[in-house]
Structure formats: C-alpha cells, structure tokens
Amino acid sequence: SLKVIGPSQPILVRVGEDIELTCYLSPETDAQGMEVRWVQSHRYPAVYVYMDGDHVAGEQMAEYKGRTALVRDAINEGRLTLKISNARTSDDGQYQCLFEKDGVYQEAHLDLKIVGLGSYPSVSLEEQKDGQIKLKCTSEGWFPQPHVQWRDREGRPRPSFSQEVTQGSHGLFHVQAFLLATDASVVNVTCSISNPLLGQEEKMTTFFLSG
C-alpha cells in the first residue's frame, strides 16, 4: 500500500532563511494527478494545496500568500518539496503533508523548529553601593526563549539575581538578566546566552570592573 514519508528528524531553520518541507511516496508513484496539501493543525485553510497540476491559491492561509513555491521536478517519482521563504517564528510547529488518491488521504508529519540566534549580550554596571555591584546583561533576537548563564572568572556558574524576558512583535525574545556581586574591587564575570535548540552555539560577553 502507498505510504507518505516525511523527515524523521525535526527540521531546524533560522529566522529569515528559507524552509523546505519534503515528502515522498513509497513505493515511488507518479503524483501528478493527485491532490497534495501541506497543512498545520487544520486542513482548511492550508499552507499550500496542489491540485490538477496547479496551486490552489484560494485555499491558502493569508500568512503564506506570496511566500510559497512548489519544487516538483521529481513529482513523477512522488517527491515534492514545499519551499516557504523568509522563515518567521509563527511558522514554528507541526505540519502534515497529505497525498490524495482515489478519495483516500495518506499523510506524513513534519516537525518544524524555527531558531533565532540573538545578539551578543551587552553587560553594563547598573549600580554600585555598600560594597555591592549590580550588573545587567541584555540581548535580543532569540527564539525560542534562550538560556542565560553568568560565570565567574574561574568559569563557575553564578545564579542570576533576577531575569526579565519579553517577546517582541516578530515573536523574538529580548532578555535582561541581573547579577549581584559583592567584591567591587575587581570583577571579571561572563554572561553567556544560548539557544536551547542549538546547544553549544552560545554567545558570551565578559565584563571587567577594576576599582
């Protein structure tokens, strides 16, 4: 029987880059006469619909209009790729591709993870009194919500005193983390920020204060 195969791993795409969602039929089957649709949690409206050899624009969700193209050079083998340009945080989530033959739909699931790698953190001195200093680390442009870690000069983790996270209009996260330190004579601390989906690829800034 006919099966639809999609990627076995989540697809990671950075904000602003192009998304490629590929599905194919197993065994190889010509899909030119089939209806093929890419959808999110609901079938209508769709992310993209291919029917009778053409794109059905009337069924497309507003946020995908003008951003999609179907790569169909291998359609006679049952392989289709939907390209979505300029990835946004709102594209993040679960997708399905559905192939219809003789009134029966076969489907595959795709897991799309949008990644925003933010700015290098900026560390500044907020206040200095009673032998205590308060440092602020700020960075923006992250998705999903980033992980913030302060470290002392030996590389030991230091807990944030407080943290504020906001999400901007494009869905990207802006983070502010504060650190209280007691030794004002010399401070050498690093604020590092990482994306939970990218692991090791962290951005860091070191702050030096000499009294």
What are 128-181's pLDDT values in tens digits? 888 888 999 999 999 999 999 999 888 899 999 999 999 998 999 999 999 998
Domain end (from 115, 148, 164): 115
Residues 60 and 161 occupy one common structural domain: no
Q: Number of C-alpha atoms within 13 angstroms, CB side, residue 80?
A: 30
> What's the whole-model pTM score?
0.90
Confidence of residue 208 (pLDDT cuts 50, 70, 90): confident
Residues 7 and 97 occupy one common structural domain: yes
Residues 127 and 171 occupy one common structural domain: yes
Alpha carbons 139 and 173: distance in angstroms, whole number? 9
Q: What are phi and psi of 127, to 5 degrees?
A: -155, 160
Domain end (from 52, 87, 115): 115
CATH number, domain with residue 89:
2.60.40.10
- pLDDT tens sequence across 53-76: 999 999 999 999 999 999 999 999
* pLDDT of res. 185: 55
Residues 199 and 140 occupy one common structural domain: yes
Residues 96 and 26 occupy one common structural domain: yes
Residue 63 is given by DSSP the state G
By residue range, what is the domain housing residue 49?
3-115
139: nearest Cα among 155, 163, 105? 163
Residue type at 170 in one-letter notation: H
Domain end (from 97, 115, 133): 115
Q: What is the largest CA-CA distance in the chain?
A: 78
- Where are the extended beta strands (E) located within 27-160? 35-39, 48-51, 54-55, 68-71, 79-84, 93-101, 104-115, 122-129, 132-142, 147-151, 157-158
- pLDDT tens sequence across 14-41: 999 999 999 999 999 999 999 999 999 8
| Tokens 């690829």, located at residue | 201
83: nearest Cα among 36, 38, 23, 20? 20
The total domain count for the chain is 2
Q: Is 89 helix (H, G, I), strand (E, B) or coil?
A: helix
